[in-house]
Structure 1
């Protein structure tokens, strides 16, 4: 068994090697989002190990049972040489009894970690496909729980992403006392905390909670918590100025109409008579129960308000991920099923390329591409004749798509039915029909749309003029003339 001094030395060595491993991680190149996230997770694991080892080291230095002091005293006594040789003998005896015992030095572990680089297969298991390795939020389950809440305003998923933390407006006050609402808040709170631990492992979440708690306690005491201003300092007072608590039935009410109906009930009348017969003997205990019920109710409201405040703070910190999620959802809604399948296939190919990137870096550096030709399926430039055949050197800009440039006639013709052009036409309030094919300028699109509307209107007018009516004498009139004459009583 190792001595306390040896355990301390080993702990110090582990801490120093962990610190050096963190420095090595900072020096590694991190180009992609996945590599950066892998770096944060590894550094977070190292920091956790440093904290745990430091706690053990602190206990060893505390020396509650005095073992460390005894061992130091034995080494510094006049017979220190005999103590030294006795320990040396025990070490030799141990190795003699276990000659083939395997021992791995601590430095081997960190050398193995350094050889891994930035590859981490376990990272993909932490996120769902919608989260895309921590780039986006996946609130679909939370949205379903919101839709199932009674009394909330119904909205789409995209609107929910923008307003899920607007607790003062979209969540009515009467549903905040229900158990379903508290379960919904708990689900949302747990997901955001889980997302922080997976997508931002180095973020100081305890410090954020502590600062938010201080701010919340101050606002709660002042009655300035958003959405709970009118609740603070009130005691559910009715129109007569008395609290909605029945002394006879020992029951607290939160609704004025329910409280008034309760006062008219037979059960309450009997309880009131029984209370009057006691001549106020138990009135004090009833008042205490009433005060206890009020305190419990206020504590429950404070807990719900705390969850809302903390979720709002989390959503504020995750503002960039939230905006990226909204943009991604809006983009996917404009895609067709075929485009979604192609996008997924392209993403898988990119991931496969990243996995093989370390092996193919040398080959990529040797590729000779002075004409800047597009790369084919094999990662090499396509032939020049194929480049000229498809006209990939010709640029086709489209102002409706935000001045996006399409290379080649095929890509240009195809883009009129893609999401970018459809979204641009939707922003101009113009239908993306076949008549607007080849229209790339906003001014031309507006001019053609005005012409189409004028033509449609003139065709409707012509239809009114073509329709004819005949009176009793055989005179033929247009519909408009016939209606005017008939209205005047001439016909």
Structure 2
């Protein structure tokens, strides 16, 4: 059916059915984080379909070739009945040529047939390190530490400092490697929005960032980017009159003075009889060169502002990523595998289980239901045990408190204090008490003094416990 009015009607109907599909999708509340992302991608695909249909519909309404107006005139003029019967005849001929044709209900057009395939497609968007909810900035960390004149920091510190651009020297910022680094980092965050939060209005966020950048750039308050009248005096001294060029680095400026290009420009200037340049003319030349320099700096500063704005918006994911990196750093291979299995079990339980009525907020048992209240009281799960070494983390119940001394959080806290996590410090939860006991152990005689080789315990993948010296010897011999 080639009728333009029929095609318009069909597009309106499709848009309405897509909107109904979006409403039906949003009425289902996701139970897990992965399920929420899949739902957002599905809704985002529906919105893209609406945009495609609306664009085509607008072209029909614009009627640039006049075909729609011509059709309206043909069905509303003196020959309207003949036009009606002619179209009716074409419809009958179509069904006569295609008898018993199967028609799929319109409601099934937007129904997802293969949910597992849809999940696999979205899963392929994320790396293993991202795991649907974290950042994976290892590539950009390597690029960062390979920049000139920047501090060589580990990945965990990089997650804290990757948007602190004011600490990077200006000479480094004007290099090609730095430009590639920040553009890659900016593109990563934009792609992360598309795959982790596809319904987020990133265009609106970009407009806000651009407006704030424009205001800060004009006022000269952007961190790490001085205004023209606030430039360092050293930069004003690195101006080449002959080449009319402003330099940022003294070494590069001195190298330029010995170059052929500068000597040729200086010789041309002398041959032209220009021996001296007036103060006003020199200031104008400097100002022009500085304006050109600022124009070169502006795109780099804008890219930094984008990254800073994206990081503020994704601050929660950034903190989760840092916590995940800290947790993995204190786990051995066996514990890491078990941790992954526990996460998968929890996520599968979140997806499969319905909401459980638990007004007392009792712990969940092995059957996925709250444990009995008498068992909760028997094990003392209502008692709180804070630990200052773990960052004032509170453990519920004596059993969890006793177990935490060998877990990653307490081990990380002891490592930050510079104290080995041995049996001597069991039951020690205050930082001051830990330091006091550590000094007391070190002050004893050599026979009683703490020796990490014999007293620090190591555990292999099978659960066997050795002291440090025995463990290292067995590992060197390949017996572990």
TM-score bin, normalised by smaller chain? 0.7 to 0.9
- 1:239 positional shift: 6.5
- Asked whether the equivalents of residues 38 and 123 of structure 1 are also in contact (C-alpha less than 8 Å), the reply is yes
- 1:354 positional shift: 5.9
Partner of 1:52: 52
- 1:293 positional shift: 6.7
- Asked whether the equivalents of residues 31 and 350 of structure 2 are also in contact (C-alpha less than 8 Å), the reply is no
Match of 1:375 among 366, 385, 390: 366
Partner of 1:330: 326
Partner of 2:140: 142
Q: 1:180 to 1:116 in 2, by over 3 A?
A: closer
Q: 1:447 to 1:93 in 2, by over 3 A?
A: closer
Structure 1 vs Structure 2 CA RMSD: 4.2
- Asked whether the equivalents of residues 40 and 200 of structure 1 are also in contact (C-alpha less than 8 Å), the reply is yes
List per-residue Cα deviations over 1:429-458 (Å, max 9, x = no partner). 653212234x2654xx86586356346535
Match of 2:169 among 167, 172, 179: 172
Residue range with higher mean Cα deviation, 81-90 or 231-240: 231-240
- 1:304 positional shift: 0.3
Asked whether 1:127 is paired with 2:113, we answer no
Q: Which SS does the other structure have where 2:396 is aligned?
A: strand
- 1:139 positional shift: 1.1
Rg larger for: 1
| TM-score, normalisation: structure 1 | 0.75
Segments of structure 2 that go 5 or more residues without pairing to the other structure are 450-480
Partner of 2:424: 435
- 1:462 positional shift: 12
Q: 1:105 to 1:158 in 2, by over 3 A?
A: same
Q: 1:454 to 1:321 in 2, by over 3 A?
A: closer
| TM-score, normalisation: structure 2 | 0.76
Q: 1:272 to 1:163 in 2, by over 3 A?
A: closer
List per-residue Cα deviations over 1:50-107 (Å, max 9, x = no partner). 2221122111111111111111111111221110110111122223333465543432
Matches of 2:290 and 2:438 in 1, distance apart? Answer: 68
- Count residues with an aligned counterpart: 430
Q: 1:93 to 1:256 in 2, by over 3 A?
A: same
Match of 1:158 among 156, 168, 172: 156
- Asked whether the equivalents of residues 145 and 152 of structure 2 are also in contact (C-alpha less than 8 Å), the reply is yes
Match of 2:395 among 367, 384, 404: 404
Q: Which SS does the other structure have where 1:206 is aligned?
A: helix
Asked whether 1:202 is paired with 2:204, we answer no
Asked whether 1:272 is paired with 2:270, we answer no
- Asked whether the equivalents of residues 209 and 309 of structure 2 are also in contact (C-alpha less than 8 Å), the reply is yes
Matches of 2:263 and 2:370 in 1, distance apart? Answer: 92
- 1:326 positional shift: 1.1
- Asked whether the equivalents of residues 35 and 119 of structure 1 are also in contact (C-alpha less than 8 Å), the reply is no
Partner of 2:180: 183
Matches of 1:372 and 1:405 in 2, distance apart? Answer: 10
Q: 1:232 to 1:74 in 2, by over 3 A?
A: farther
- 1:343 positional shift: 0.9
Partner of 1:347: 343
Q: 1:48 to 1:236 in 2, by over 3 A?
A: farther
- 1:18 positional shift: 1.5
Segments of structure 1 that go 5 or more residues without pairing to the other structure are 366-370, 383-387, 464-491
